Amino acid sequence: MAKLNIELITGIFVIIGIACFTWLAISVAGATFSEQPGYSLTARFSSISGLREGAVIEGAGVRIGSVTAIEFDPDSFEAIVHLHINEGVPVQEDAIAAVRTQGIIGEKYINIIPGGFEELLTEGMEIYETESAISIEDLVSRYIFSSDG
């Protein structure tokens, strides 16, 4: 009886621990063991300052994908961002990918602004229209120097 009790309580403890881990990993950290169906695109930016792998991609404010990888292209001195777009979300050939900030000091994300073309981008293609990250320091310094002269 004592042996059974110990085993029972230990089993309950292990179940509680694993349940907590699963909740942390799946709900909080958003780990997915099977990749969400979708397709990947690339985009080149002259600056993505602050964007991280795993950042959100939004369309009309709704989450439609995530950034899977960020590379640096030494020839053109540009950043190549790999985007994973969820299945069923159309991205037109002339859609614009813009690096934006949530609030003033929030996280960087990529906003997709739809285009007017009929042709849709498919797996592995590139979004040509991009807008780089807006640096507040740049804006401030431009304002200071323009008002100076």
CB 139 within 8 A of CB 123: no
Binding site for other proteins (CB under 8 A): 3, 6-7, 9-10, 12-14, 16-18, 20-21, 23-25, 27-31, 54, 56, 105, 107
Alpha-carbon distances, residue 27 vs 20, 34, 62, 125 (angstroms) = 10, 15, 18, 31
Residue closer to other proteins (CB basis): 30 or 74 = 30
Residue closer to other proteins (CB basis): 14 or 114 = 14
CA distance 78 to 133: 12
Q: If we measure between CA atoms, which residue out of 87, 80, 89, 96 comes closest to residue 128? A: 96
CB of 22 to other proteins, least distance (A): 9
CB of 13 to other proteins, least distance (A): 4
Residue closer to other proteins (CB basis): 45 or 109 = 109
CB of 100 to other proteins, least distance (A): 15
CB of 17 to other proteins, least distance (A): 3
Q: What letters, b where the CB count within 10 A reaches 16 and e where it falls short, cover 72-92?
A: eeeeeebbbbbbbbeeeeebb
Residue closer to other proteins (CB basis): 3 or 37 = 3
CB 22 within 8 A of CB 56: no
